[in-house]
A and B are shown apart, each in its own frame.
Chain A
């Protein structure tokens, strides 16, 4: 894929203003944590991958793959994550060049102060609001927090610094902050415009392409439709299927000190003198000569069971109606 225009130029042409916020509501997470997991037992089938993962993550995930059944845990109940720590703070984290994540807690002391400052009547009409500042130019935008959320994902711009106030917005538009976050910076989502004076760059565009640029994250996440059967099991109706195999178990017992061979090969006896051998059988007739020899070599016994395995044609099956 070759682009004719450098993305840096394209991006640079855009005004640097903060984009209109797009928000996602988040439910309070506590329920997810305390959910019981003891009954989480899935049926034994091969189609257990809930969603296809990006291939690199998929491979990494196989390290943790025990098999198609999830183990049961005895969940203990003495420890539950607290819903609140009594802190008054908001924490801001960078997810990628375009998204921040904020979580917060407003404690009772700070709430009471705000109620006093606004009066109960005004406070009860105020809305919990996030004010997102671009610290580089102190532009800001507001997001009204809904649904009792305790955290939020914020749409922002790449290569800029942000901090967020959590507070209350009154009906007449006043904003009272309860807490201010740490300052974070989103990464640059393109090559830098800054060219080191000490260096000449012969043909950056080409170098960028050679380095695999223009496709961030592509290295690991590119392959969504995976071709190999081992990488992905498509979710969908599983075709009806059946397989049948035949194992035969040859087992017996003798004096623990005796020597036993089956088909001429020596067999290890268990301490009680029993032995057991198992064979997967194809079609045909099979002989299993068993010989036991007393430890002093003076007596022997021979028994030879035979097994005839034959699969009948389907049409001869009875009672099919």
Chain B
């Protein structure tokens, strides 16, 4: 009999990055890297677990922007092209490293992984990663949930409720259309929750969401079981709180697993190391050196300069991943045993992470996950994996608590998205939002060109609302791109708004931006109406 439950939640998200106007666009690489290093390795892990009869449960949120990219033929083709070029480079690396046997082995490893990825993507899943995830959802091993439409940080749109609703409804509609069923849960972008958002989730048929630890702990009234049982908002939608201990094990640099010296070093890449003429065909078309994904070194030790890193040894890393999985499981076993005694009922431990942490940042993350699932399945019976949906079915009775406004970002609230580097965007974002509501109220019915223009305006607004732009402005990575994107979408929205108001829609212009920002074909501008 189990003492308690573990619910692993992976949040997969990238902003919508698709630039048909350029043959080779740097930021699209975010997506290609994530496919090769995270999404495909995760699918391989799931496949192996299923094949070996390991019963596991993982909850995966796929953001609607990411899902739209999964489904886009242009990006599917471009990914294959990207991968083919990587495969070509890996063959050259096999030759080039001939006289360094250890490095040569790594070159062969990359070559094999890229070939495997290609086989999977092209032959097994027919370029459709959404279908691949659906496969494991249909087997009942993973629970697929959604996220707000363009990953809008909802608490900072709180004064425009119809826009929050449009983010939620658009997401649920795309999820249902793609996966054939409504999502049971939603990952609120950055866990940003404002009391009352749950009402909107309820109207969209979403049964649960996640908040950070203090969102539950500072809820009203006091939650009896802390974060170890979900609570119901007054709307009846359940909120699950993040567990700090299991979070820290993976996120924390000091105590966290990914910082282990045996693991692969993220920043040392042959894209920067190799001779320029040699690497030139595999970096950005304008000659900028970029990451290729072929990385030969390990973290090595504390404060080691990148040029002094030592060679990566996959066997050591794999051993570490197994050890860390064992450690994680042991700690969760102790945790649920202790909590079970204390609470008098089996606790649920919510362990949410960015999916891209696994594989992309923490190269061995997918292996760790595989070891963890196997160990939980074979080695013990106290801890059981569960999805939030299953838990609610099993334990429908929970306390009624309104969680507090919170996020899982730095300092726990909205500061990362509202501070000196990015606070200027809200004036423009809110104005565009007001204008969208105005349009939706003015045109309850539309068809033809007007309908297309209204829907495209809604798309542009939502793209401007992506939390990624404010996030990037704050972190300082790729700031010009974030500025460009925010500006592009506000500009496109504004031009559409003015054209609609003037009854002078420019059909070629509309067609052009429909071709660029082509996500959410089923979007409905009427979701932005007041009421």
List 29 A–B pairs whose Cβ atoms lie within 8 Å, in order of A's numbering: A29-B424, A50-B476, A54-B410, A55-B251, A55-B252, A57-B471, A61-B472, A65-B477, A67-B290, A85-B431, A91-B426, A93-B156, A95-B413, A103-B426, A199-B399, A201-B224, A202-B342, A207-B225, A211-B213, A211-B228, A213-B213, A216-B412, A219-B242, A221-B412, A226-B254, A227-B254, A231-B253, A278-B95, A279-B98
Q: Is the CB of B299 within 8 A of A211?
A: no
Contact B253 A55 (CB under 8 A): yes
Question: From residue 116 to 154 of chain A, which have CB atoms closer than 8 A to chain B?
Answer: 150-151
CB distance from B305 to the nearest CB of A (A): 7
- Whether A94 pairs with B339 at a CB distance below 8 angstroms is no
Judge whether B253 and A226 touch: CB under 8 Å.
yes
Judging by beta carbons under 8 Å apart, are B96 and A278 in contact?
A: yes
Q: Is the CB of A220 within 8 A of B410?
A: yes
Q: With A and B bound together, what is the CA distance between A75 and B491 in angstroms?
A: 13
Flag if B251 contacts A64 (CB, 8 Å): no
Question: Per a CB cutoff under 8 Å, which of A46, A151, A282 touches B100?
Answer: A282
Which residue of B is nearest A63, CB measured? B356
A-B contact count (CB 8 A): 328
**Is the CB of A294 closer than 8 A to any CB of chain B?**
no
**Distance, CA A211 to CA B214, complexed state (A):** 9
Query: Which residues of the partner chain A approach B212 to less than 8 Å between Cβ atoms?
Result: 219-220
A95: contacting residue among B224, B400, B415, CB under 8 A: B415
- Interface residues in chain B, defined as those with a beta carbon under 8 Å from any beta carbon in chain A: 14, 26-27, 29-30, 34, 92, 95-100, 103, 155-156, 158-159, 212-214, 216-222, 224-228, 241-245, 247-248, 251-254, 256, 258-259, 261, 263, 265-267, 269, 271-272, 275, 278, 284, 286, 288-291, 299-307, 309, 338-339, 342-343, 354, 356-357, 360-361, 399-401, 404-406, 408-416, 418-421, 423-424, 426-428, 430-431, 468, 471-472, 475-481, 483-484, 487, 490-491, 494
A56 CA / B190 CA spacing, docked (Å): 11
Which one of A106-114, A187-195, A312-320 is at the interface? A187-195
On A, residues with C-beta under 8 Å from B are: 26, 29-30, 32-33, 37, 40, 44, 46, 49-51, 53-57, 59-73, 75, 79, 81, 85, 87, 91, 93-97, 99, 101, 103, 105, 150-151, 182, 184-192, 194-196, 198-204, 206-208, 210-213, 215-223, 226-234, 238-239, 241, 243, 247, 277-282, 284, 286
Q: Please, how many angstroms separate the alpha-carbon atoms of A238 and B227 in the complex?
A: 45
B98 / chain A contacts, CB cutoff of 8 Å: 279
Q: Are A212 and B243 in contact (CB under 8 A)?
A: yes
- State how many angstroms separate the Cβ of A58 from the closest Cβ of chain B: 8
A206 to B224, CA, bound (A): 11
CA distance A230 to B98 in the complex (A): 28
Chain A residue, CB-CB nearest to B212 = A219
Docked-complex contact A212 and B244, CB < 8 angstroms: yes
Contact between B155 and A223 (Cβ–Cβ < 8 Å)? no
Give me 6 other A-B pairs in contact (C-beta within 8 A), A66-B30, A72-B286, A247-B278 excluded: A81-B428, A94-B413, A207-B225, A213-B214, A219-B251, A222-B248
- Quick check: B303 and A234 within 8 Å, CB to CB? yes
B149 to A: closest C-beta gap in Å: 19
Closest beta carbon of chain A to B428's beta carbon, Å: 5
Q: Are A196 and B222 in touch, CB under 8 angstroms?
A: yes
How near does chain A come to B477, taking the closest CB pair, in angstroms? 5
Residue of A nearest to B263 (CB): A230
Closest chain B residue to A228, Cβ basis? B259
Q: Which of B97, B400, B411, B477 has the most CB of A within 10 A?
A: B477
Please tell me if the beta carbons of B404 and A188 are within 8 angstroms of each other in the complex: yes
Closest CB pairs A-B (n = 5)? A212-B244, A29-B424, A228-B259, A217-B412, A96-B413
